[in-house]
Structure 1
Amino acid sequence: MSREKILTMLGFGERSRKIVSGETGCRIAIQKKKAKLLIIALDTAESKKTDFKNLATHHQVPILEFGYKETLGKAIGKSSRSAIAICDDGLAETIDQLIE
């Protein structure tokens, strides 16, 4: 897994408006079936992780636990983020391939 490449792809996704970040934004993207991949920070509280995982599983959105809140936020030019929803098939597939 290329950590730096994934963070770079997240930055590209933010600039092209193909990602949604933060708890509320991710929940809305999942519920509206716009999310193609959900990235949850490793240092997110267990209760929040469980909530996100249950919601994503219910709506059949793949889940990836990656990075830390501060790192994810920095990658997209924002403050720390506990979750990022990828809303583009191509970007989600690219990140998934980088993981393998």
Structure 2
Amino acid sequence: MNRTKALNMLGLAMRAGKLVTGEEMTLKEIRNEKAALIILASDAGKNTQKKIKDKSSYYEIPLLDAFSTDEISAAIGKPRMVIGILDQGFARKVQELILG
């Protein structure tokens, strides 16, 4: 149930313009320290996972890999493996829903 709510929050954040999608755009926002939370698909490729995890760890940005590519894509309406939430409120709510 909370997974569904979290995915709905991602869709809401997308419509509100508070998300960046795709590997390059997300990496750019991590470097600019604008991303509040990174969502990485659990089935993303090894290179993508390493690159995103290393960057978010270095810049101390929380990362969740609780969703598949299909779940993320369905939630935001675009085929994506990596998204960054730019808004602290959305990021906090998604983390609460997933981590409890």
Segments of structure 1 that go 5 or more residues without pairing to the other structure are none
What does 1:61-80 align with in structure 2 at a 5 Å threshold?
A: 61-79=61-79
1:74 partner amino acid = A
1:63 partner amino acid = L
Segments of structure 2 that go 5 or more residues without pairing to the other structure are none
TM-score for both structures, normalised by structure 1: 0.94
Report the Cα distance in structure 1 between the residues aligned to 2:17 and 2:82, rounded to whole angstroms.
Answer: 15
Displacement after TM superposition at 1:40 (Å): 0.5
Q: What secondary structure does 1:25 align onto?
A: helix
TM-score for both structures, normalised by structure 2: 0.94
Cα RMSD (Å) of the superposition? 1.0
Dislocated runs of 4+, deviation >6 Å: none
2:96 partner amino acid = Q
Displacement after TM superposition at 1:2 (Å): 1.2
2:81 partner amino acid = S
1:77 partner amino acid = G
2:83 partner amino acid = I
What does 1:1-100 align with in structure 2 at a 5 Å threshold?
A: 2-79=2-79, 81-99=80-98, 100=100
